Chain A
Amino acid sequence: PHAGPVESKNEAAMSELVPEPRQKPVVPMKPMGINANLLGYIGIDTIIEQMRKKTMKTGFDFNIMVVGQSGLGKSTLVNTLFKSQVSRKSSSWNREEKIPKTVEIKAIGHVIEEGGVKMKLTVIDTPGFGDQINNENCWEPIEKYINEQYEKFLKEEVNIARKKRIPDTRVHCCLYFISPTGHSLRPLDLEFMKHLSKVVNIIPVIAKADTMTLEEKTEFKQRVRKELEVNGIEFYPQKEFDEDLEDKTENDKIRQESMPFAVVGSDKEYQVNGKRVLGRKTPWGIIEVENLTHCEFALLRDFVIRTHLQDLKEVTHNIHYETYRAKRLNDNGGLPPMTAETEENHESNL
């Protein structure tokens, strides 16, 4: 809403509301934009502080999914993003795991705190994706998991007696790891993103980017962007959800220049120029993860966490979830009924 023009007193019509019987809901009237000239400080702007305090008290949920073939550095990257051992591999006992025969969905949650802000972070791993001989439809378990979380939320939302705060297990962000082949996207990449970009926010990342030179990186990124566009794949931030000009300019830059982010992850520290930095040590030098000249990890981190975290959640809630809900309520049994059997396939370390 924008402040309306100052209207003359004569135009300020008196709006009468005759109460109507219960059956018909009274349509709320359109607000009159009488711009009241403030003659002194009232304190309306303190609502910002009040709101901030409340949200700090309740805390935040964030659910991030990582998808990609094994060996692309997914777990390491997530650990680096959140500067702690949040991924499945770090938490499980068995480090020498076999590649599973089918795609599994493994969610693990931790509570992390920074600056008084408590966050319940859930990392959802998808081991087995793209690792089989025949990978047809290997995105289906993932799509099913995502829809199941929407279903869970919907069930809670339509209860008569509702919880004060509905637990949010919906996937807010899906990092898709692209192999740094330097050529182009693989058919599996395209298939996955085509299907899933309609139900979840997908952020494509180029994994293990330390195998490409700067020129190779730029060319590869351009090719990937072109391929995504040609195939009609809308990754986050989606063009159609830009709220205003400010958003559009900011997001256009990210969409057309920075993404997909070419990243390197590491949880080991080394001494460089007297500072301790996260990096990868090779015979030809130390790759500094948070150095923007070496890789785009810092861009990804700032994008996902420092500027667009809340927006990722809002797009998930206001758009993806609403789409699911509308479809679900319209379809006369179009979606398969959620039975108890489906829950056995999903192991959760929660």
Chain B
Amino acid sequence: QNHGYRTLSLCGPVGFDSLPDQLVKKSVKQGFCFNILCIGETGSGKSTLINSLFNTNFDDPVSTHFLPSVRLRAQTYELQESSVLLKLTIVNTVGFGDQINKEDSYKPIVDYIDAQFEAYLQEELKIKRSLFSYHDTRIHVCLYFISPTGHSLKTLDLLTMKSLDCKVNIIPIIGKADSISKTELQKFKNKIMSELGSNGVQIYQFPTDDETVSKINTVMNGRLPFAVVGSTEEVKIGNKMVRARQYPWGIVQVENENHCDFVKLREMLICTNMEDLREQTHARHYELYRRCRLEEMGFRDIGPENKPVSLQEAYEAKRHEFYLELQRKEEEMRQQFVQRVKEKEAMLKEAEQQVQTKFEHRVLMHQEVKLKLEKKKKVLEDEIAVFIEKKANAELLQSQASVSTPVVSLKRDKDRK
């Protein structure tokens, strides 16, 4: 890093040794994110362990064994200790290992991890971005719960861990370890580690490059996988209340290092290596995801003919592609629109035609009826004329007849007189 730089000595106090403090102060103001993924079969003790680790009772309903597929459930909590504010996200697998066919069990988990990387990548690629206020949801550590069978890893375990080891820091854990005796435990641990090794599964190694922590980290690396017991109940031991599980034959104390590795796990996970876990996630796993994804999208650092591709050229090319695609789509839509308009026009024309035809038909009908009626009218008029004539004749006859008849009656009347 400092090649070619001369080292100078100071002739007096300057004050930049306060830099780490300045940086820490700013980080504390912003707060920290830590995201834990727990993978394990239903009933392997995941929730209890998390509750024990963080000394709280996170509300986590118990799930059934009869879910059709593996799902992930994420919950975020804000924890505060002295001045440090921690945004803790716990992601649990629900239904893991319950299905009859477990071929695809690991897929939802991989998809979830990738989705968090993707969200971060999208933010990073934005033109107007705000990375420093981004809520980081990338998984920093994966606690993989191994069933305490005492024999070896299950095929599902190997399959899942193999598909995750390049995406996330894996810490294998033996859950509900109070069912294994001490001698069985060491054999079990050895078997697990050798199986992981022979299958090429890369689990998280506690870092050994910093002298202050390298010794303890090396020791802990040799104690993996951690055999843990969790408990939400407290039992009185001596005059203290401690987290423990009470059996008829004795009490298993969670925080007793002779009983289980819980304290070691908490030490390693939180007090010693939390920052390293975050850094590895960002600098290694995320970078790998980003590289693969960008290559997938067609970006290259070296273009054809092995010449470095400048940022501008890459964006130009992409923008051009995108623009062409947009144009094509626009053209397509325009064509569709024109087509639809034509069709509608034709339909309307036809309808219009039909209406016209009907109208003409009706007009014709109307004329016919009118004609008929006129005929009838004529006939009637003729009849009326005939009738009037008859009537006139009849009246005439009647009037003639009535002129003669009154004389007769007069005569009769005279006669009577």
Contacts and interface: CB of A to CB of B under 8 A. Distances in A.
Asked whether A and B interact, the reply is yes
B27 A51 contact: yes
Which 6 A-B residue pairings sit nearest by Cβ, starting from the closest?
Answer: A115-B17, A31-B76, A50-B275, A26-B115, A310-B22, A19-B111
B78 A306 contact: no
B238 interface: no
Most chain A beta carbons < 10 A, residue from B81, B212, B283, B291: B81
Interface in B69-126: 71-87, 89, 107-108, 111-112, 114-116, 118-119, 121-122
B311 interface: yes
A133 interface: no
A22 B289 CA distance: 13
Given A26-B118, A39-B55, A160 B4 contact: no
Interface of A: 1-4, 9, 12, 14-22, 25-29, 31-48, 50-57, 59-60, 62, 81-86, 109-117, 119-120, 154-155, 158-162, 164-165, 243-244, 278, 301-302, 305-311, 314, 318, 322, 325-326, 329-330, 332-333, 337, 350
A154 B53 CA distance: 41
Nearest to B70: A19
28 contacts: A1-B85, A17-B73, A19-B72, A28-B116, A31-B87, A43-B81, A43-B266, A44-B79, A45-B81, A46-B274, A47-B84, A48-B24, A50-B272, A81-B14, A82-B10, A83-B13, A84-B10, A84-B11, A110-B8, A111-B8, A112-B16, A116-B17, A119-B19, A160-B295, A162-B290, A311-B26, A314-B132, A318-B132
Contacts, number: 267
B20 interface: yes
Contacts of A243: 29
A111 B283 contact: no
Given A19-B111, A28-B137, A110-B6, A45 B83 contact: yes
B55 A1 contact: no
B55 A42 contact: yes
Most chain A beta carbons < 10 A, residue from B19, B83, B290: B19
B210 A306 contact: no
A32 B112 contact: no
Nearest to B91: A17
A245 B299 CA distance: 44
A333 B273 CA distance: 45
A114 B32 contact: no
A106 B111 CA distance: 50
A20 B115 contact: yes
A37 B31 contact: no
A33 B127 contact: no
A33 B78 contact: yes
B78 A162 contact: no
Nearest to A338: B310
Given A25-B119, A119-B16, A160-B294, 8 more contacts: A3-B78, A31-B77, A43-B267, A84-B10, A113-B7, A161-B291, A301-B14, A311-B22
